[in-house]
A and B are shown apart, each in its own frame.
Chain A
Amino acid sequence: MQYDVAVIGAGVCGAMITREMSKLDLKVILLEKCNDVAMGTSKANSAIVHAGFDAEPGTLKAKLNVQGASLMAYYCNKLHVPYKNIGSLVVAYSWDDMKTLDELFERGFANGVPNMDIISQERLREMEPYISEEAVGALWAPTAGIVSPYELTIACVENAVLNGARVRRNSGVFDIEYKDGLFSLSTASGVVKAKYVINCAGVFADQIAKMIGDTSFRIIPRKGEYYLLDKSEQKMVSHVLFHCPSKMGKGILVTPTVHGNVLMGPTAIDLDFDSKLDLDTTIEGLNIVKEDVKTVIPALSTRNCITSFAGLRAHIDSEHADFLIAPSKANEHFINVAGIESPGLTAAPAIARYVANIFKEIAPQYPRKEQFRTDRPAPIHVNELTDEERRTLVEKDKRYGRIICRCEGVTEGEIIDAIKAPCGARDVDGVKRRTRAGMGRCQGGFCGSKVVEILARELGEDMNQITKFGNESRILYNRTK
């Protein structure tokens, strides 16, 4: 099958860009090496919509951050993705820190961040009653927020599929040939031909670029470790709380999540170029997070931790690393979208539009489609419904009355929806990210086996074929004696 555009990598950027491409009258395919979309950085990050005062003025990071932040509400509303515009606070603990806040304010102003304010200790305490006694003030950025990054990715992919895009999972690209104006991409699921390629391969973007002879950049996987706390801690923090920034990034933050948990992290450790699969959490890393958070909210306890995890930032190996979004010098029909580290999630909607503009310049022959569907059907989340709505729903379909995940109140109906959706879930983690089944305090202890059973039934497979996240991550072996 021949395509006009092949997008490599179904993270949030690949998904957003595929969605933009599906607005045009062309054939687009999204290639993903894993068993699901949003399996890399897009599933393990801080889930923050940054206001945009961190990046150096004039950089792509600065421009696309501010644009992305202002687009996020629109996208999340259209695509039915959890998003909360809760605002962020950069907390200062000393007068030196307060000076840094002034610098951040100026930088934010230069970047076009609206409505910032430097607030007093009293005001800070009103906004965050559990904040450390040591805190002396903060930079308040009301345009910041929180979003569910994997749901955003999944939603964009679903929307793109509804608009005619194709998605192929388990299709990691291992070789690219270019001949007669056509790329031949050798993937784990066969050869895909396309006239244009957009490289959104995250931490692997350098390896993909190398396949066409582009060695102009290298990506360092920069690991960040996190703790996720139980919903019982949600009263402890109401806004995104940052430390004053350091060279390695924005430091460790504490934030509510859109689902009512508390997230704390990340660390920032540069790994070797060849450690791009290393998602191990470490004692050292987790201890850093634990100790650091005590300085922000001393009463916050990791005793109520429900899980810890690590993610990799795609950091370009250079002193002033900016997003690299441009046609490759090796082949101008190949667009690199690389080095998308923080604020990449926030910027993603703007990155997609930016790439669409680049694409229009190099490929002006594709007109816009007459019909483009901007939304996707809203997924049903039963525990967000009123009693009456719930009653009506269960009368229509009994499966919405059968609770499978007791911690998060997820029903069988929702799990089946997640499996049947365009680009639906094929594994246990996929069901978890779409429905939250298994994401609560028991971490799938009770519902895990039921989810395996439902997946097996709906996909027409045996229970022991069902995986946690594809490939060799099978959960069950042989039958008992």
Chain B
Amino acid sequence: MQKYDLVVIGGGPAGMAAALKAKECGVKKIIILERAATLGGILEQCIHAGFGLHYFGEELTGPEYAHRFIEQVEQTDIEVKVDTMVLEIRNGNIVVATNAVDGMLELHATAIILAMGCRERPRGALDIPGSRASGIMTAGTAQKYVNIDGYMPGKKIVILGSGDIGLIMARRMTLEGAKVEMVCELMPFSGGLQRNIVQCLEDMGIPLKLSCTVIQTHGIERLEGVTIANVDENRRPIPGTEQYVECDTLLLSVGLIPENELTRMAGIIIDPVTNGAVVDENRQTSRPGIFACGNVLQVHDLVDYVTAESQIAGEGAAAYIRNKPKGRNRYVSVKGRDGVRYVVPQNINENTDKDVKLYFRVADVFRNARIIVESDGKVLYNKKKPKLAPGEMEYVVIKADDIRALEKKELVVRLEVQQ
């Protein structure tokens, strides 16, 4: 069995940023295990621009953003194993993995960072009745076919779901000569970034149909069309609004699910809202020495935020490796209420010496709402925002002094909507 100070599972933007930060903080023996053939994760197929505006202050493509980190990793002594799939995290922080070079690997880690990313919600989970024809796939799968393999998966496209990958693919398929008939969104608002709606749909002349869904697929071998319908406020199809749309391809962009199978197997507590681990401000999970960051922890819309979060995890893991803390941490718990769906981190060490950024998402579109952070009636933060939307992650900063001074070990993030 080989010993490492830090094993990072996943070599996408999260894993790389976490490993680099840990290295910078003095961790000696680090290894990144990546299941794909290269580092970079999903960024490798995101060839559009729009990455890095916050972190680098310039607009990069996905591969460019990834390569800035890959180059940095290459300049360190961080070991990398690609084409390597982690199968299990056993007791005592033993990471079991397999690849074609080493066969089976058993790595003993002082600390582990989980950075496995997320996957797209497939058709089955949506329960769309109809045929099992070919031509129905997630937007991300289509993105790989077009951008990596160089093939078009269809000519006449309907996109269900206005998540960012769906919006990006609407534009991409149009630029490649396909006709994108429409994007249907079940909710009365898009789950994607505003800038993507403008640049990928409006600029391309692609209609976005809100409160509309696909209720049936048609075609025995290849998809021939879909039936769409408007939905009511309970998201149920409204009889009489059905419409047949001819198409050979249905792309799904209906949500992302953090890939936490390893996390669950390791017995780590999962937040039922984020579907990611419950973590503290250092991104440590309920299992001491195991950290999580990036889309495996919560689905982000901007990679820049993934990088920032992963650096926190890298720093946290480095401190853990250095101090090998014993005993239980005492936490202030953080909760979302009144329109705040969730907050990450869910816990903060009560004696933290750093200011803490609380990341959260709202449940609906709100205009001129106040974001309030309070504890036992005492307000720590109160600020008005002109617009809040589920598709855009928000954050507020809470001072370390304020956290340490809390009497009740609970923080609530909530919205106050002006009538």
A279-B131, A401-B98, A475-B134 known; A449 vs B145 contact (CB < 8 Å): yes
A286-B129, A391-B104, A401-B100 known; A463 vs B151 contact (CB < 8 Å): yes
A474 at interface, CB cutoff 8 A: yes
The chain B residue with its CB closest to the CB of A285 is: B129
A398 touches B149 (CB 8 A): no
B273 at interface, CB cutoff 8 A: no
Q: Identify which of A279, A390, A445 contacts B141 (C-beta below 8 A).
A: A445
Residues of chain B from 193 to 231 with CB closer than 8 A to chain A in the complex: 215-216, 220-222
B130 touches A480 (CB 8 A): no
B133 at interface, CB cutoff 8 A: yes
Interface membership of chain B positions 303-329, coded 1 if the CB is closer than 8 angstroms to chain A and 0 otherwise = 000000000000000000000000000
Stretch at the interface among A106-114, A123-131, A213-221, A303-311: A303-311
A479 touches B96 (CB 8 A): no
A308-B124, A402-B83 known; A445 vs B101 contact (CB < 8 Å): no
A468 at interface, CB cutoff 8 A: yes
Interface membership of chain A positions 254-294, coded 1 if the CB is closer than 8 angstroms to chain B and 0 otherwise = 00000000000000000000000101111101100000000
Residues of chain A from 435 to 481 with CB closer than 8 A to chain B in the complex: 441-446, 448-449, 453, 463-464, 467-481
Please measure, in the bound complex, the distance between the C-alpha atom of A123 and the C-alpha atom of B209, giving whole angstroms.
Answer: 54
Kindly provide the distance from the CB of A18 to the nearest chain B CB, expressed in whole angstroms.
Answer: 26
Kindly provide the distance from the CB of B395 to the nearest chain A CB, expressed in whole angstroms.
Answer: 29
The DSSP consensus for interface residues of chain B is: mixed
Residues of A within 8 A of B119 (CB): 441-442, 445-446
Residues of B within 8 A of A180 (CB): none
A142 at interface, CB cutoff 8 A: no
A281 touches B130 (CB 8 A): yes
A395 at interface, CB cutoff 8 A: yes
Please measure, in the bound complex, the distance between the C-alpha atom of A477 and the C-alpha atom of B157, giving whole angstroms.
Answer: 13
Please measure, in the bound complex, the distance between the C-alpha atom of A480 and the C-alpha atom of B99, giving whole angstroms.
Answer: 32
A401 touches B151 (CB 8 A): no
Residues of B within 8 A of A132 (CB): none
Kindly provide the distance from the CB of B67 to the nearest chain A CB, expressed in whole angstroms.
Answer: 22
B85 touches A476 (CB 8 A): no
B29 at interface, CB cutoff 8 A: no
A2 at interface, CB cutoff 8 A: no
A78 at interface, CB cutoff 8 A: no
B127 touches A443 (CB 8 A): no
The chain A residue with its CB closest to the CB of B248 is: A477
Please measure, in the bound complex, the distance between the C-alpha atom of A477 and the C-alpha atom of B173, giving whole angstroms.
Answer: 13
B137 at interface, CB cutoff 8 A: yes
The chain B residue with its CB closest to the CB of A413 is: B100
Kindly provide the distance from the CB of B33 to the nearest chain A CB, expressed in whole angstroms.
Answer: 12
B151 touches A464 (CB 8 A): yes
Residues of B within 8 A of A419 (CB): none
Residues of B within 8 A of A285 (CB): 129
Interface membership of chain B positions 132-143, coded 1 if the CB is closer than 8 angstroms to chain A and 0 otherwise = 111101101100
Please measure, in the bound complex, the distance between the C-alpha atom of A403 and the C-alpha atom of B120, giving whole angstroms.
Answer: 19
The chain B residue with its CB closest to the CB of A402 is: B100
A387 at interface, CB cutoff 8 A: yes
Residues of B within 8 A of A464 (CB): 151
Please measure, in the bound complex, the distance between the C-alpha atom of A444 and the C-alpha atom of B221, giving whole angstroms.
Answer: 18
A391-B104, A475-B134 known; A463 vs B149 contact (CB < 8 Å): yes
B35 at interface, CB cutoff 8 A: yes
A406-B85, A468-B134 known; A398 vs B155 contact (CB < 8 Å): no
A399 at interface, CB cutoff 8 A: yes
B103 touches A390 (CB 8 A): yes
B92 at interface, CB cutoff 8 A: no
B391 at interface, CB cutoff 8 A: no
B99 touches A445 (CB 8 A): no
Please measure, in the bound complex, the distance between the C-alpha atom of A403 and the C-alpha atom of B264, giving whole angstroms.
Answer: 20
Please measure, in the bound complex, the distance between the C-alpha atom of A6 and the C-alpha atom of B290, giving whole angstroms.
Answer: 61
Please measure, in the bound complex, the distance between the C-alpha atom of A228 and the C-alpha atom of B106, giving whole angstroms.
Answer: 34
Residues of B within 8 A of A442 (CB): 119-120, 122
Residues of A within 8 A of B137 (CB): 445, 448
Q: Identify which of A401, A443, A463 contacts B123 (C-beta below 8 A).
A: A443
B122 touches A445 (CB 8 A): yes
Residues of chain B from 94 to 121 with CB closer than 8 A to chain A in the complex: 96, 98-104, 106, 119-120
A306 touches B122 (CB 8 A): yes
Kindly provide the distance from the CB of A468 to the nearest chain B CB, expressed in whole angstroms.
Answer: 4
A395 touches B103 (CB 8 A): yes
B401 at interface, CB cutoff 8 A: no
Q: Identify which of A282, A302, A409, A474 contacts B222 (C-beta below 8 A).
A: A474
B12 at interface, CB cutoff 8 A: no
A394 touches B98 (CB 8 A): yes
Kindly provide the distance from the CB of B9 to the nearest chain A CB, expressed in whole angstroms.
Answer: 12
Q: Identify which of B101, B124, B127, B220 contacts A401 (C-beta below 8 A).
A: B101
Kindly provide the distance from the CB of B77 to the nearest chain A CB, expressed in whole angstroms.
Answer: 25
Please measure, in the bound complex, the distance between the C-alpha atom of A269 and the C-alpha atom of B261, giving whole angstroms.
Answer: 38
B176 at interface, CB cutoff 8 A: yes
Q: Which of B130, B149, B177 has the most CB of A within 10 A?
A: B149
A309 touches B132 (CB 8 A): yes
Residues of B within 8 A of A309 (CB): 132
Please measure, in the bound complex, the distance between the C-alpha atom of A445 and the C-alpha atom of B215, giving whole angstroms.
Answer: 21
B99 touches A401 (CB 8 A): yes
B129 touches A280 (CB 8 A): yes
A443-B123, A479-B151 known; A402 vs B176 contact (CB < 8 Å): no
Residues of A within 8 A of B377 (CB): none
B240 at interface, CB cutoff 8 A: no
Q: Which of B98, B148, B177, B261 has the most CB of A within 10 A?
A: B98
A445 touches B152 (CB 8 A): no
The chain B residue with its CB closest to the CB of A479 is: B150
The chain B residue with its CB closest to the CB of A449 is: B144
Please measure, in the bound complex, the distance between the C-alpha atom of A309 and the C-alpha atom of B130, giving whole angstroms.
Answer: 9
Residues of A within 8 A of B125 (CB): 305-306
B127 touches A308 (CB 8 A): yes
A391 touches B122 (CB 8 A): no
Q: Which of A305, A309, A395, A443 has the most CB of B within 10 A?
A: A443
Residues of A within 8 A of B161 (CB): none
B176 touches A480 (CB 8 A): yes
B151 touches A473 (CB 8 A): no
A442-B120, A445-B138, A445-B141 known; A453 vs B127 contact (CB < 8 Å): no
Kindly provide the distance from the CB of B134 to the nearest chain A CB, expressed in whole angstroms.
Answer: 4
A448 touches B141 (CB 8 A): yes
A398 touches B133 (CB 8 A): no
Please measure, in the bound complex, the distance between the C-alpha atom of A285 and the C-alpha atom of B130, giving whole angstroms.
Answer: 11
Kindly provide the distance from the CB of A258 to the nearest chain B CB, expressed in whole angstroms.
Answer: 19
Please measure, in the bound complex, the distance between the C-alpha atom of A403 and the C-alpha atom of B103, giving whole angstroms.
Answer: 11
Q: Nearest 6 pairs between A and B by C-beta? A: A307-B124, A394-B103, A468-B134, A443-B122, A398-B100, A403-B85
A-B contact list, 27 entries, CB within 8 Å? A279-B132, A279-B220, A280-B130, A283-B129, A302-B127, A307-B124, A308-B129, A309-B132, A390-B104, A391-B103, A398-B100, A398-B101, A401-B101, A401-B103, A402-B99, A406-B85, A442-B122, A443-B124, A446-B119, A449-B149, A453-B149, A464-B151, A472-B221, A475-B153, A477-B151, A480-B146, A481-B177
Interface residues of A (CB under 8 A from B): 228, 232, 277, 279-283, 285-286, 302, 305-309, 387, 390-391, 393-395, 398-403, 406-407, 409, 412, 441-446, 448-449, 453, 463-464, 467-481
Given contacts A279-B131, A446-B141, A474-B222, 15 further A-B contacts (CB under 8 A): A280-B129, A283-B215, A283-B216, A394-B98, A394-B100, A400-B100, A412-B100, A443-B122, A445-B120, A463-B151, A468-B133, A476-B145, A477-B152, A477-B154, A481-B177
